Amino acid sequence: MRRLILTFGFACLALNLGNVADAATKRWTGGPGYKTFVIGDEAKPTPDPVKGGFLLSGGGDWALDAFRWFTAHSGHGHIVVLRASGTTESQDEFYNNVKGVTSVRTFLFTDRKAAYDAKLLAAIKSADGIFLAGGDQSNYVRMWKGTPLNAALDAHVAAGKPLGGTSAGLAVQGSWLYGAMDGGSITSKEAMSDPLGAANTIEGDFLHSALLADIVTDSHFEVRDRLGRLIAFVVKAEQLRAAPNKRYARPLVGLGIDEAAAMTVESDGTARVHSNTDGHAWLVQGGEVHDLAVGKPLNIANVHVTGIGKTSTFNVKTLEVGLPAFTRIYDVKDGILAKRVHWSLAIHGGAGIIDRADLTPETDAAYRGGLSQALKAGQDVLEKGGTALDATQAAVRVLEDNPLFNAGKGAAIAADGNVYLDAAVMDGATQKAGAVAALTRTKNPILAARAVMDKTRHVLLAGEGADAFAKAQGLEQVDPSYFHTPEREQMLVDWKKDHQAMINPTHMYGTVGAVAVDSDGNLAAATSTGGLTGKQWGRIGDSPLIGAGTYARNGDCAVSATGTGEFFIRDSAGRQVCDRVRWNHQGIDAAANDTIMSIGSIGGDGGLIAMDASGKASFAINDLGMYRGAVSSDSPVVQTAIYVDETLK
């Protein structure tokens, strides 16, 4: 009984001591120039290792994945929230919705003297993660800049601990920031009307971190139309940091975060965008400034804007973006922002042994006319602001309807006397793709491939299933005889006599395809074919195989191939071109030509068309010719070529 009483006494003592400590924590409700609030147990140890990094949240509903990244980098330990308005909103969100934290303490600043308080500074020093709430960033600048708290925030980052912020708390994290020091929030129109004016209150020498040293940040980006003002922020910040005898490693860039997005940045610079919807980060780079002076509107040309989406890769050190959501070019003239119209389209109508003596002038003209019609169909889409995906589909559809080309009407006939049609499309922005193989009744296989991409969870449908799907989608169905032409029937007769030897060389590897980039920088590819004359029943070539005959990836390239499909499959032709661009840093011409030579080295013949992110088209041939053409916003008159030694004209 005595032991029981003694044990009970110790338990009560421990409980009382715990209550005293807890009460002491809760009694701390403020100090000089601040109030404070806490949730959780600050006495518990931090459960996991702490890792450095940044959380940049755009100011809307929290993307929980990003905030859970922040709590994990804080070791699931103790977070301190700093704010100059509101009360416990952020700490409640962390503790009750994000979860996985030991405690969250909020400091609500009402006066600059709080930034000198020893007790507050001790809490900052011991924090595992620090989060800057939204509100008015001018309060942060006025209350913190040049204070011990300012130094403590820098020390927190230097110690390899994470720093996060939303809205105003995001806006102050770059090396230069818009301070909103005049009590307002400047609009894009106002900022561009006088970028060097007093209303564009740019501040420097506040927070200091190597990762964000050359970055100007902004929040609530697209929904509040803030691209123009971020461009103006960067322009003024560059003016303010300019010094006669100082050179910087790189110019300042802008980084805007959509309201529905958040970016997490690792200590090595790798970054990721999180969003509950389709939010992006906007990387703003470059531009040539003209006639810059106080009181004058902004004039800047060739500003490159890259969208960083949920599937993109990004590094704040190198500024390299993989799989960008979009790439755009903007100009500002006399304070007015305008997106530059920039697009490009290239097509092919198949490769083969094409000598000038093989084509009569009339046939030559007919092929060029068919190519031109296809180019104009795609051009019409792009000039109206349409997508690269729609443009490539439109161009290929025209070629499918033209009996001169081996796709749709006029397709090659298989050994069993039937026509089996293959097609594929790929969207470089999303890397979604759709393909069909061995269609027998669908007039335009390219439409069926698009429907597979848009309306199923699959990539490739084949045979009777593909036919049934196309019919169910309401796509035009025709009698199989529609695809036959006298010329193709004769080619089958010749093939049966001597297989390859008697095939018309001008149709050796007939396939049609298109690649394009639109004004948002999105790449796309589309390919359609009837395959080889006399092919075995069940044979499927490279055209509908993503990564072989068709491929597109934003930021890298788009490819459509034509030739002996088996070799293009074995060498992963389409993907290979884009990988050469991405990983070997080859230009599009070198990547395309090296790929087609690689295919030739294993016995394959043919060609391919490729386009890079800038819209530069490349035509690579290891045979004697390829029906091809191109048109772009820079060269809006369609150009075509047929023979191997011929340039586009």
What tens digit of pLDDT does each residue of 397-406 get? Answer: 999 999 999 9
Q: Give tens-digit pLDDT for 246-283.
A: 777 789 999 999 999 999 999 999 999 999 999 999 99
The 3-state DSSP class for residue 573 equals helix
For 419-422, which contacts have Cβ atoms below 8 Å and span 24 or more sequence positions?
A: 419/480, 419/483, 419/484, 419/530, 420/530, 420/531, 420/535, 420/537, 420/539, 421/445, 421/483, 421/528, 421/529, 421/530, 422/528, 422/529, 422/530, 422/531, 422/540, 422/541, 422/543, 422/544
Beta strands 253-257; 215-218: pairing state: parallel
Q: pLDDT value at position 500?
A: 53
Does residue 363 contact residue 370 with C-beta atoms inside 8 Å? no
Q: pLDDT value at position 499?
A: 66
Q: Which residues pair with 640 in a beta bridge?
A: 629
Distance CA 127, CA 303 (A): 40
Does residue 66 contact residue 89 with C-beta atoms inside 8 Å? no
Distance CA 32, CA 59 (A): 29
Q: pLDDT value at position 288?
A: 97
Does residue 482 contact residue 409 with C-beta atoms inside 8 Å? yes
Q: Which residues pair with 104 in a beta bridge?
A: 39, 79
Distance CA 165, CA 313 (A): 21
Furthest C-alpha separation in the chain: 116
DSSP state of 98: I
Q: pLDDT value at position 183?
A: 83
The two domains 32-50+75-165 and 344-408+485-643 share their CATH topology (first three levels equal): no
Active-site residue, 102 included: no
Measured CA distances, 388 to 346, 484, 556 (Å): 11, 31, 14
Residue 492 C-alpha from the chain's centroid? 46
Cα dihedral 531, 534, 540, 543, rounded to 10, equals -10
Name the strands in the sheet holding 321-322, side by side, starting at the edge strand that comes first in the sequence: 30-31, 34-40, 103-109, 78-83, 129-132, 162-166, 53-57, 261-266, 270-275, 313-315, 321-322
Residues of the chain with pLDDT under 70: 1-26, 244-245, 353, 499-509
Distance CA 18, CA 480 (A): 85
Q: pLDDT value at position 421?
A: 98
Which residue, among 625, 609, 545, has the nearest Cα to 577 in the 3D structure? 609
CATH fold of 32-50+75-165: Rossmann fold (3.40.50)
Q: pLDDT value at position 42?
A: 96
420 residue type, one letter: Y
Distance CA 53, CA 347 (A): 45
Please, what CATH class does the domain formed by 344-408+485-643 belong to? alpha beta
377 token code pair: 């169909």
Domain boundaries, the chain: 32-50+75-165, 344-408+485-643
Distance CA 80, CA 83 (A): 10
The 3-state DSSP class for residue 136 equals coil
Q: Is 417 left (phi over 0), alpha (psi -120 to 50) or beta?
A: left
Distance CA 557, CA 567 (A): 21
Distance CA 533, CA 546 (A): 22
Helix (H) or strand (E) holding 166: strand 162-166
Does residue 78 contact residue 105 with C-beta atoms inside 8 Å? yes
Residues 166, 511, 529, 550: which is the catalytic one?
511
Q: Is 205 left (phi over 0), alpha (psi -120 to 50) or beta?
A: left
Q: How many CB atoms lie within 10 A of CB 357?
A: 6
Going 470 to 474 to 479 to 485, the CA torsion angle's sign is negative
Distance CA 199, CA 210 (A): 28
Q: pLDDT value at position 336?
A: 98
Does residue 69 contact residue 270 with C-beta atoms inside 8 Å? no
11 residue type, one letter: A
**Residues with Cβ within 8 Å of residue 530, at least 6 apart in sequence:** 406, 407, 408, 410, 411, 412, 413, 419, 420, 421, 422, 483, 510
Q: pLDDT value at position 498?
A: 77
**Which phi and psi angles does 502 have, rounded to 5°?**
-100, 0
Which residue, among 601, 564, 602, 560, has the nearest Cα to 577 in the 3D structure? 560
Q: Quickly tell me which residue has 């030897």 as its tokens.
A: 501
DSSP state of 413: P
